[in-house]
Structure 1
Amino acid sequence: MSISKLSIVVPCFNEESNIQELFKELKEVVTTFSFSYEVIFVDDGSKDHTYLEIEKIANTYDYVSGISLSRNFGHQIALLAGLERSTGDVVITMDGDLQHPPHVIPDLISKYEEGYDIVNTRRIDDESTSFFKKKTSSLFYAIINKLSDTKVEPFGADFRLMSRETVDAFLSIKEHDRFTRGLVSWIGFHQGTVAYKANPRFSGKSSYTLKKMIKLAVNGITSMSSRPLRISLYLGLIFFVTGIVYAIFILYNYFIGLNVAGWTSILITILILGGIQLLIMSIIGEYVSRIFNETKSRPLYLVKKKTNDIS
């Protein structure tokens, strides 16, 4: 499949020290292409001078543009904002910290030319990735693929190529709490995968704290599956039946005259039942919160600034 124009979308948050180096590497790649191209930077409410660095590049190169969101709306929303402004018949999304190496872009395009509508990537971690991050990432994908009917590429990333047809299909989904990797899998089409070795960050610290990773994991699971609600039902039934059996056991001992010293067992039972109830209420609360967010009908993001060449 031929390409007329390529769009590259880069969400950024506090990447002031990375933008210039990233663009340098991107420029070395895109200037070798025979088709036209554009690079769209999305500043997701950075606290540093990320947007100023974007403006410097956009003022020098006419194929570069950028927008600054009014606050930090999150990586998934920044990604969406960039996709909505892309005009290419093929779009590549990647992070702004150089962990997604630009030299892999020709590999994505080659895979697309083989006939794939979406080309996902599979991350191969470098030696600097912690044991904890590797294991938690593996556990997350195992859980979400077990619970969801839609399979998500293990060790995937938001570094992918999408045809215009699949971008339009993706943009037609109007969910507020978005899990991009799951939604891309859900829309279907012919999807392939390219493996790449993740680079360490060029500079700075990752903004993806443990808290944000947990939030993404919860959002991913609740976005792609309702099975946790069914699990809550099964847990409730199991403990209800257990409670009935235990009550019969206590009554039986009472009527045959046995003294049951059950303070310890009662306390343990109360703690277990209380914990299960709180867990079930928390799971239900997550789904209610998603319903609440969807009914508010607020815009997914607001734009504060944009470079002159963005409409």
Structure 2
Amino acid sequence: MRINTLSIVIPCFNEQDNIKILFEELKKVLNDFDFVVEMIFVDDGSKDGTFGEIEKIADVDNRVMGISFSRNFGHQIALLAGMEKAKGDAVVTMDGDLQHPPEVIPEMIQQYNQGYDIVNTKRIDGVSTSLFKRKTSKWFYALINKLSDVRVEPNSADFRLMSRETVDAFLKIKEQDRFTRGLISWIGFKQTFVAYTSQPRYSGKTSYTLKKMLVLAVNGITSMSSKPLRISLYLGLLFFVTGIVYSIFILYNFFKGVNVEGWTSILITILILGGVQLFIMSIIGEYVSRIFNETKARPLYLVKKETGQKS
């Protein structure tokens, strides 16, 4: 499978100080190849001068295209928007903070040339990665692989190379609440992994706060599995059977004339049941909210401005 055109899709959020450095690093890696390269920077509603930096680069290099969203729609949607614009025979997606090293791209192309449709990457945590992030990442992948119908490789990243065929297949998926790593596993095709060492951000602070990580985790679990709903059913059955057994115990002692003092046990039971009911309702609520989002049929993103080459 020969590459005639390679597209690089780069979602950006408040990456003003990283754009130029990333562009220079990409040029060092890609200038040695004999195929056409296009770079698509997607500004996901940045509050700084990110899009201004993209415009400057696009003015001096006709391989660069920039898209600016009307607001922040999220990293997963920015990935999708860039892939919709990409024209390449193969498409690489990567972050704009230099934590995804451009020098890995040639190795990904090698794997593609060996017949793989999708070349994923697996992150090896560097010394800058906190213990908290390592542990929460490990727990997240363990949980999602227990619940999901498809396997998501631990420490996988949205840094990958995809063939034109797999990009077109991916773009047929129009879900609002997206978990790209899970969807890539779901679409199948011949896939492999290459490892890379995670680098510290060149500049700025990560936009992936704990809150955003939790939202991504919930999206990942609810988009890839209905098992939490089944767990709710099993919990409900467990407490229903427990309630029946406890009722029989109370009635048995009542007819024997044994006075059972149960204020404490009743209070504990009510609190536990109330907590379980709220937990189950929240799970159901997550799935209902996803249905609600899908039925609204709003566009996944809105573009405010574009620069560079046009489709």
- Native 8 Å contact 1:7 1:38 kept in 2: yes
1:259-298, aligned counterparts within 5 Å? 259-298=259-298
Counterpart check, 1:240 vs 2:248:
no
**Match of residue 12 from structure 2:** 12
Q: TM-score, normalising length from structure 2?
A: 0.99
1:119-138, aligned counterparts within 5 Å? 119-138=119-138
Q: Percent of aligned pairs with the same residue?
A: 75
Amino acid at match of 2:8: I
**Match of residue 39 from structure 1:** 39
| Cα distance per residue 1:26-54 (max 9 Å; x no partner) | 01111111111100000000000000000
CA root-mean-square deviation? 0.6
Structure 1 residue runs of 4 or more that deviate by more than 6 Å after TM superposition: none
| Cα distance per residue 1:111-150 (max 9 Å; x no partner) | 1111100000000010111111101101111111111111
Deviation at 1:260, TM superposition (A): 0.9
SS at match of 1:140: helix
Moved more, 254-263 or 75-84: 254-263
| Cα distance per residue 1:63-90 (max 9 Å; x no partner) | 0010100000000000000000000000
- Native 8 Å contact 1:123 1:196 kept in 2: yes
SS at match of 1:132: helix
Unaligned runs of 5+ in 1: none
Amino acid at match of 2:160: R
Q: TM-score, normalising length from structure 1?
A: 0.99
1:1-311, aligned counterparts within 5 Å? 1-311=1-311
- Native 8 Å contact 1:66 1:310 kept in 2: no
SS at match of 1:307: strand
Deviation at 1:199, TM superposition (A): 0.4
SS at match of 2:92: strand
- Native 8 Å contact 2:55 2:308 kept in 1: no
Deviation at 1:153, TM superposition (A): 1.3
CA distance in 1, matches of 2:149, 2:9: 29
- Native 8 Å contact 2:176 2:300 kept in 1: yes
For these two proteins, the number of residue pairs brought into alignment is: 311
CA distance in 2, matches of 1:167, 1:34: 22
CA distance in 2, matches of 1:275, 1:191: 42
Amino acid at match of 2:34: S
